[in-house]
Chain A
């Protein structure tokens, strides 16, 4: 994920060079490494090391996030009057478990997932957030978001405290929330690309392009092709109606190498998010004709999550996503950022370096990707209770 910030810093540098160039090559070298995480690590380590445990401050933040309410006076005093740090820690951790057992935790999870998915507030749009919230409340596996074939369209009451099991309607494949009718409707677009972007950014925590080769290829454009798929693995005008191999401006294939191998899987959902037996999304061509498989891929290609990670259908996509370590880590990073009050990991580039959450990621995997356990681990982590 650090690559994303590096990319943007390269951007800033590349813009700055022509604007600030002087003929004196010896005047500009005093800022190497700034901002990208390199350099002056001691300064930041010292600040991190100077933090102290403050279980009352942590309790207030945890209460607001896990219950949506302030702690009561008794809850505050219980920690305040605990005789030592160990007792304060015990009182705090007991209260966190209490908070996560309350009905209000369901509501808070619902709000978190509505924000994460960018959808909700109608029965149709709440099914996916409600399913994700249910996984957290019931301490089920995060991977069910991609693999559940039943019970993945629960309903939630108006108070957002009671989730009721329900199967999804319709005849389409079932794979957690990535086949959710509301999501397919919310993110409808030409070629189903917006649905792919939603899946990519929500569950992999990164914008396209995401498959980057260490050995760029000259494809005749102003810049090289940087993808890992063969350049010819997506359609150009010889097989489709849109030239995804175009290099006249940007190299479209840098992103579309991945997009085009995923998007056909989502193309059978129509504008209402209803699954159809054939492709039901339009193209931006004149008169908006429906997309065809050959618009995305040459006949020799098959759909896939990533290069050499084929996915013949959406259940296959969910299965391969569930096995992707980046997807698993993304789930932890999103919970981490929520707990620590960060803005979005993708939209605002609030990245979480792997080293920061490696303990939580390892425990998450070892513990069957249980959501409630993960949330408890994050809210009791040293980084959460130190200020």
Chain B
């Protein structure tokens, strides 16, 4: 009996049949997904529930809610938050109308749709899931922003230890090697040996040190800000 209840709810909730009618209609239910109104139906029912297959796949990969509800998820950095993060790392013209084409600010300013920004006029909240388009745009922004960030980090009050008059951070020392202080400021958590190792390998493996530094910063940003 319990299964029957669930199946009934299922059919109703998934909207696999027609809408309520203004006249009795005999016959078989219409095809699955046919939930829009018509001459014999009087109301367009929503049919946008989560796919049971997607749910099953998620549960198998991530575990049951009794487990996942205790764990942090990997939600993307919200669009507005990403803009403030970039600004706080020294990227200029975030939100400005005249950002140079293909600059980090330009990619950000015109990337709201790709990055799932909200569309409240259409009753759509911000999509905090990670999408291919959103992650791609974000990584493009990081790559474009790297030179600005490398130059700005030593000047940023937020990155100084001991307040605005304290010791500045730096991403690279005079020999071009990665510095923990700058990486800590960049990623928002204390830099670990693995961060420094990845950074230095990226720098030394690139065609030139300058290219390597840009790649290293972009890679660290991507790792740190794919999830909020």
Contact = CB atoms under 8 A, between A and B. Distances in A.
Interface residues of B, number: 87
A243 to B, nearest CB: 5
A41 B118 CA distance: 37
Interface in B34-49: 37, 42-44, 46, 49
A35 interface: yes
Contact of A285 (B22, B123, B159): B22
A310 interface: no
Interface residues of A, number: 99
A291 to B, nearest CB: 12
Contact of B10 (A14, A41, A65): A14
A68 B84 contact: yes
A61 interface: yes
B202 interface: no
Contact of B52 (A12, A121, A348): A12
Contacts, number: 257
B181 A351 contact: no
Contacts of B163: 74
A242 B42 CA distance: 8
Given A5-B55, A9-B52, A250-B12, A70 B188 contact: yes
A45 to B, nearest CB: 8
Nearest to A45: B67
A246 B10 contact: no
Contacts of B63: 44, 47
Contact of B228 (A6, A59, A76, A341): A341
Contact of A249 (B18, B77, B160, B185): B18
A387 B71 CA distance: 8
Contact of B21 (A73, A212, A246, A353): A246
Contact of B14 (A11, A187, A197): A11
Which of A65, A68, A115, A249 gathers the greatest number of chain B CB atoms within 10 Å?
A249
B9 A7 contact: yes
Contacts of B123: 118-119, 186-187
Interface string A341-353: 1111001111111
Contact of B9 (A60, A70, A212): A212
A63 to B, nearest CB: 7
A116 interface: yes
Interface stretch (B23-31, B96-104, B107-115): B23-31
B8 A69 contact: no
Contacts of B228: 61, 64-65, 341
Given A10-B6, A37-B66, 10 more contacts: A65-B228, A73-B181, A111-B80, A224-B5, A242-B21, A242-B22, A342-B75, A343-B129, A350-B65, A356-B65
> What are the nearest 10 A-B pairs in CB distance?
A35-B59, A249-B17, A341-B75, A37-B64, A44-B67, A12-B52, A11-B52, A115-B125, A252-B20, A60-B188
Interface of A: 2, 5-12, 14-15, 34-38, 41, 44, 47-48, 56-57, 59-61, 63-65, 68-74, 76-77, 80, 111, 114-116, 118-121, 125, 186-187, 190-191, 193, 197, 207-209, 212, 214, 216, 222-224, 226, 237, 241-244, 246, 248-252, 254-256, 283-285, 336, 340-344, 347-353, 355-357, 383-384, 387
9 contacts: A9-B56, A60-B188, A118-B124, A121-B120, A246-B20, A250-B18, A350-B73, A383-B70, A387-B72
